[in-house]
A = this chain, B = another copy of it.
Amino acid sequence: MVARDDGPIPRIVARDERATPRTGADDVVRAIGESARSALATVNASVRELSGVGCSAPGPLDHRGGIVHEAPNIPGFVEFPLGKRLAGALGLEAIYLDRDTVMAAVGEAVAGAAKGARDFIYITISTGIGGAIVSDGRLLRGAADTAGEIGHLPVALEGPRCGCGSYGCVESLAAGRFIAEAFGVEDAALVFAAAAAHDPQAERIIDRAEKALGNLAVGLANAISPALIVVGGSIAEHEPGHTLEPMRRAITARAFKVAAAAVRVVPAALGRDVGMLGAVIYARERLAGRDEWFR
């Protein structure tokens, strides 16, 4: 995807989407490189004309070294130096790599729903669940750079195996991929449709997903106390009544009164492009020398 960064919100001028190759990390790097060149070609531009490149990647990763530690959904991504390899494929010295949710959070903070917020949490509810935490104007990183990986907060004492190898993670109960798997279908939309038609199994799965998201929201409100929880991702976008709404209800009913009164749960303002726009805004911020702080 190529964007022109000439306003508060960058304009996407070319897109190119491809399925992630399942044949190893080299093929993934090659596919990203080809996708970038093909998008550039449609606007008659070349890599040399880019002011910066941002690569939004699944976590956990090391954003300084550009290394993806584990990516259960992408074969071959174990301690993989994606930043360096992708820069090489594009003929560049360096690119900016960070967790998809960190880039989305930076995008929402600079140009979206979290503008001006000093305490907010970005959550994506999509194929997986992830997030980023900004406390007192500061992006939490932690000792191993995984801070904000709230999809892997366990919210149940048991449950199906999560992609991360654990169980009880909110992701394993409420993310699109796991909602679909629990119902034995490919697409979570089918489960929401079946639940709307009162299929009892679908209703149980969606109810469990809502409870898991409620637990997540209450836990974050109590233990992190954001002023804002910004929720993006395809499931949140299509099913706010089954995501943002149960999160709001749970906070009102179950969080500390002061924490509940201090927080609002709102949809991502950058919409379905939050991840990509976030990467552009993130690259702009890094080029301007800003790094950890987004006050």
Contact = CB atoms under 8 A, between A and B. Distances in A.
Interface of A: 60, 62, 69-70, 119, 131, 133, 135-136, 138, 140-150, 152-157, 164-168, 208, 211-212, 214-215, 218-219, 221-227, 253-259, 261-263
Contacts of A136: 138, 140-141
B227 A143 contact: yes
A194 to B, nearest CB: 21
A29 B56 CA distance: 54
A138 B141 contact: no
20 contacts: A62-B258, A131-B223, A142-B224, A143-B225, A143-B263, A144-B262, A146-B223, A147-B224, A147-B225, A149-B256, A153-B153, A153-B222, A154-B214, A154-B254, A155-B168, A157-B212, A157-B215, A165-B254, A166-B255, A168-B215
Copies in the complex: 2
B154 A259 contact: no
A154 B152 CA distance: 13
A256 B145 CA distance: 11
A84 to B, nearest CB: 18
A142 B219 CA distance: 13
Given A136-B140, A212-B157, A223-B150, A69 B166 contact: no
A152 B222 contact: yes
Contact of A154 (B62, B218, B225): B218
A34 to B, nearest CB: 30
Contact of A135 (B62, B147, B208, B263): B147
Given A142-B225, A143-B119, A222-B146, A152 B256 contact: yes
A256 B60 contact: yes
Instruction: Pick the most buried of A60, A215, A224: most chain B CB atoms within 10 A of its CB.
Output: A224
Nearest to A261: B144
A221 B138 CA distance: 19
Given A135-B142, A256-B164, A153 B211 contact: no
Contacts of A141: 135-136, 225
